[in-house]
Amino acid sequence: MKTAPIPENEKERLFSLYKLGLLDTKPEERFDRITRTATKIFNVPISTLTLIDAEREWFKSCQGLTKREGKRAISFCGHALLSNKIFVIPDTKKDKRFADNPMVIGKPFIRFYAGMPLMSIDGARVGVFCIKDTKPRKFSKKDEETLKGLANWAEMEINFHNLNLAFKEEEKTQTKLKFQARDLENAKIAARNVLEDLQIEKEKLAQSNARDEALLESIGEGLVAVDNDRRVIIINKVASDMLGWKAKDLIGKVITGLPLEDEMGNLVSLDKRPTTIALKTGKVAKVVYFFARKGKIRFPMAITATPIKLRGKTIGLIEIIRDITREKEIDKAKSEFISLASHQLKTPPTAIKLLIERLLSGKMGKFTEKQKEYFDDIQYSNQRMIDIVNKLLNVSRIELGTFAIQASENDVCAVVRSVLDELKLIIEKRRLKFRTMFGEKSIRLMIDESLFRMVIGNLVMNAVNYTAEEGEIQVECKTVNKGQMLGGKLLSENCFAVIVSNTGYGIPKNVQNKVFTKFFRADNAREKQANGTGLGLYIIKSILDHSGGSVWFTSQENKGSIFYVTIPMTGMRVKIGTKKLVG
């Protein structure tokens, strides 16, 4: 008997395996569905989704065996792991490597084996998807293609679990940033105290400065205080180090003289600088520009300018500056990873979809009702995976700024009716009361039809998914004039509006400010609909923000929600890009 070989990169391979977080976890239906399907398609007693650990093979899913693990050295999957194609043994007793293997001469008396290596998203071989029989058999090219399809399905489920871990890690990072934001707010308060002391009680300035300057020097972000003439009054060490200027060289200087550039390297004009905006409007101004430090070192900087008011009059402002180079790099790497992972994951499910459609068409022969049930199960799970991958691709294209908006003249009312017609069967299946209201028969606007359909389709499907049977959904389309109120909002221009209302579960008040953020789902939504990505509303808002439109909502838990979408009557704003969002 030949023992299973150990690859040269075993240490790195095991690291990739452990990152998946799947070893020694409970059985999951999403994996068991695949092995169960394999036993039915190939009519074999045994099928396993095997993860190869340092000294053992462990079954994440297993059909036909009572034990969940075995020794790696005598395992068939240990050999298949290093194969560059499907590893097939038609008759184990005629193969010198396995003729005296304990699993051949003893239970479970394996006489046939076929296995396909499984890869993690980083390309490491982490396991094998296989089938086993107790009698010899032939394995055709058609059989190999079918096994490859099932292995690809298993590979997608393995890596989707890993992506979820990455998303949870991102949530932890967001929580950490919130605490940092709280510290910055405390710093603003300290700086405000300094300016108010200057204006009201000059005789206490020395004592106040000694206390507050110690606080300012202790915070981790750059802080600059300026007066009404934009001259620097206070600057902490973090800010002076970041700007590459000594504090004594900046005190008393006009801060708008510092070299701020846009993404293309052009100097930012005075009217677009945060200091000017905050002093002019009396409101907080937040921008991201590039700062050109001495020596031509250029880096991205987030600037928040907050006006300081005394008895209703602005007496200066506080600027918080932050070098966001690392955050930009992380965001870019994350978006590029999601884009790459989504592209890699998209090909296998597309191939599976085409194969299943061909099988179900009847061209490959008729199937029994039980077989058709299994294929329908595969088709449903595969389509869910395609939808998830498409949403991940859309998120990466939005964050990388590569998606395009192409406007052409369309009858928006007709487009809305078309979307609703496509969803008619789903709405009827849920036994919902559905009404439409069109203020005008036809309204022509410049829109990107595919993006507009995506917005309307997502909103209506959300209403369907989160409204109980016998509930009501209404879709209303109309024009609204500048100066009119809509959903508690005063419109600043003439708009075409789509209003989607429902009597569903509603959104709890304490989480309504998170509804349009990535991966967010309210607890009551998770309870009612387990399958969901938390990306639909984020994508809708991103599309409308980039095209000049708006989306907002009103909601009351257990009573329903109303979502409002407006498109200016001048049409959707065009955006140059290299990719289109996937519907």
- Is position 522 within any domain? yes
What pLDDT shows up at residue 273?
A: 86
Whether 471 and 555 map to the same domain: the answer is yes
What pLDDT shows up at residue 404?
A: 82
Whether 318 and 345 map to the same domain: the answer is no
- Is position 271 within any domain? yes
How far is the C-alpha of 535 from the C-alpha of 466, rounded, in Å?
15
In the predicted model, is pLDDT for residue 144 greater than 80? Answer: yes
Assign residue 269 the CATH number of its domain: 3.30.450.20
In the predicted model, is pLDDT for residue 177 greater than 80? Answer: no
Displacement of CA 495 from its chain's centroid (Å):
30
**Bond before 108 cis per omega within 30 degrees:** yes
Q: Is 389 helix (H, G, I), strand (E, B) or coil?
A: helix
Whether 564 and 421 map to the same domain: the answer is yes
Report which of 388, 516, 540, 577 is spatially closest to residue 459, judged by C-alpha positions.
Answer: 540
What pLDDT shows up at residue 398?
A: 65
Whether 545 and 445 map to the same domain: the answer is yes
Q: Specify which of 139-143, 179-183, 326-330, 343-347 reaches the highest per-range mean pLDDT.
A: 139-143
How far is the C-alpha of 32 from the C-alpha of 29, rounded, in Å?
5
Whether 23 and 87 map to the same domain: the answer is yes
Q: pLDDT confidence of 201, banded at 50, 70, 90?
A: low
Backbone angles phi, psi at 411, to 5 degrees: -85, 100
Whether 36 and 22 map to the same domain: the answer is yes
Q: What percent of the chain has pLDDT over 70?
A: 78
Whether 349 and 240 map to the same domain: the answer is no
Q: What is the pLDDT of residues 206-221, one digit of tens each?
A: 566 566 666 656 666 8
Among 274, 299, 323, identify where a domain stops. Answer: 323
Which amino acid makes up residue 43? N
What pLDDT shows up at residue 205?
A: 54
Whether 91 and 232 map to the same domain: the answer is no
Pick the residue with more confidence: 581 or 59?
A: 59
Ranking 4-13, 24-33, 443-452, 533-542 by mean pLDDT, the lowest is 533-542
Number of domains present in the structure of the chain: 4
- Is position 573 within any domain? no
Other CB atoms within 10 Å distance of the CB of residue 426: 13
Q: Where are the alpha helices (DSSP H) in 299-446?
A: 325-360, 369-400, 412-422, 424-429
Residue reference for tokens 């509303």: 537
How far is the C-alpha of 120 from the C-alpha of 58, rounded, in Å?
16
In the predicted model, is pLDDT for residue 47 greater than 90? Answer: yes
Q: Is 176 helix (H, G, I), strand (E, B) or coil?
A: helix
Assign residue 464 the CATH number of its domain: 3.30.565.10
Tell me the average pLDDT across 380-391.
62
Whether 263 and 279 map to the same domain: the answer is yes
Q: What is the pLDDT of residues 404-430, one digit of tens each?
A: 888 899 999 999 999 999 888 888 888
What pLDDT shows up at residue 37?
A: 94
Q: Which two tokens stand for residue 349?
A: 């499910």
Among 109, 140, 171, identify where a domain stops. Answer: 140
Are 278 and 305 in contact, with CB atoms under 8 Å apart?
yes
What pLDDT shows up at residue 261?
A: 85
How far is the C-alpha of 379 from the C-alpha of 382, rounded, in Å?
5
pTM confidence score: 0.50
Burial pattern 96-105, b for ≥16 Cβ within 10 A else e, equals: eebeebebbe
The parent domain of residue 231 ranges over 220-323
- Is position 159 within any domain? no
Which amino acid makes up residue 172? K
How far is the C-alpha of 28 from the C-alpha of 45, rounded, in Å?
20
What pLDDT shows up at residue 345?
A: 54
**How many CA within 13 A on the CB side of residue 502?**
25
Are 447 and 412 in contact, with CB atoms under 8 Å apart?
yes
- Is position 380 within any domain? yes
Q: pLDDT confidence of 64, banded at 50, 70, 90?
A: very high
Q: Which two tokens stand for residue 416?
A: 């809305």
Q: What is the dihedral of CA 193, 197, 199, 204, to 10 degrees?
A: -170
Whether 542 and 468 map to the same domain: the answer is yes
Which amino acid makes up residue 95? D
In the predicted model, is pLDDT for residue 337 greater than 70? Answer: no
Whether 414 and 378 map to the same domain: the answer is no
Pick the residue with more confidence: 31 or 238?
A: 31
Please tell me what DSSP assigns to residue 25: P
- Is position 492 within any domain? yes
Assign residue 82 the CATH number of its domain: 3.30.450.40
What pLDDT shows up at residue 481?
A: 95
Whether 310 and 340 map to the same domain: the answer is no
Backbone angles phi, psi at 118, to 5 degrees: -110, 130
- Is position 515 within any domain? yes
- Is position 95 within any domain? yes
Report which of 226, 289, 302, 303 is spatially closest to residue 259, judged by C-alpha positions.
Answer: 289
What pLDDT shows up at residue 500?
A: 96
What pLDDT shows up at residue 524?
A: 82
Among 278, 305, 323, identify where a domain stops. Answer: 323
Please tell me what DSSP assigns to residue 495: E
